[in-house]
């Protein structure tokens, strides 16, 4: 596995990975309206636009894209791994690399309910819970680096 910088030609596959997770994985924890909003909003164009303003990293196995994550300043914004390849270390490798480019010694994330256990294992603590409009409930997480 290797982590590399985002390239514009990645946008379509990253959108597919996000939407597959929404339908196959996040749907266990969220109502249909939230899943529909995620699938509708995070199309290829949206990913391409976000990538212009945030640092996106991509996880690769050979020539295959396995997952991606992005960070804005010290805020991890999105983190998604191909559902067929969960629990193979891609999420950890991506998060480690995102933390390495964070702009402070503290990193934050608004985790999905689904990924709360993952962030806890990676050393994050819960600092709050809330709702983000049509995307539903989130868990505010924080990790002190170093």
Ligand X SMILES: CC(C)(COP(=O)(O)OP(=O)(O)OC[C@H]1O[C@@H](n2cnc3c(N)ncnc32)[C@H](O)[C@@H]1OP(=O)(O)O)[C@@H](O)C(=O)NCCC(=O)NCCS
Chain residues binding ligand X by CB under 6 A are 21, 25-26, 79-81, 86-92, 111-112, 114-115, 117-118, 121
At its nearest, how many Å lie between ligand X and the CB of residue 117? 2
103-119 core/surface letters (b: 16 or more CB in 10 A; e: else) = eeeebbbbbbebbbebb
**With respect to ligand X, which residue has the nearer C-beta, 46 or 86?**
86
The residue whose Cβ lies closest to ligand X is 91
Alpha-carbon distances of 24 from 3, 28, 79, 105, 108, rounded to whole Å: 24, 8, 15, 34, 26
Question: In terms of CB distance, is 96 or 144 closer to ligand X?
Answer: 96
Q: How far is the CB of 123 from ligand X (least distance, A)?
A: 11
Residue 120 Cβ vs ligand X, minimum distance, rounded to whole Å: 7
Taking the complex as a whole, the smallest distance from the CB of residue 65 to ligand X amounts, in Å, to: 13
End-to-end CA distance of the chain: 24
The full 3-state SS of 32-56, as one line of letters, equals: HHHHHHHHHHCCHHHHHHHHCCCEE
Nearer to ligand X, 15 or 90 (CB): 90
């Amino acid at each position: 596995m290797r982590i590399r910088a985002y390239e514009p030609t990645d946008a379509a596959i990253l959108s597919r990975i996000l939407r597959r997770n929404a339908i196959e994985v996040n749907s266990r924890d969220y109502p249909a309206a939230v899943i529909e909003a995620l699938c509708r909003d995070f199309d290829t164009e949206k990913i391409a636009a976000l990538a212009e303003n945030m640092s996106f990293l991509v996880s690769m196995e050979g020539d295959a894209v396995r997952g991606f994550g992005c960070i804005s300043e010290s805020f991890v914004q999105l983190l998604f791994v191909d559902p067929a390849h969960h629990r193979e270390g891609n999420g950890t490798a991506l998060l480690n690399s995102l933390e390495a480019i964070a702009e402070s010694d503290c990193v934050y994330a608004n985790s999905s309910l689904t990924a709360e256990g993952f962030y806890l294992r990676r050393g994050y603590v819960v600092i709050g819970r809330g709702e983000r409009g049509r995307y539903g409930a989130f868990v505010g997480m924080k990790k002190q680096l170093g």
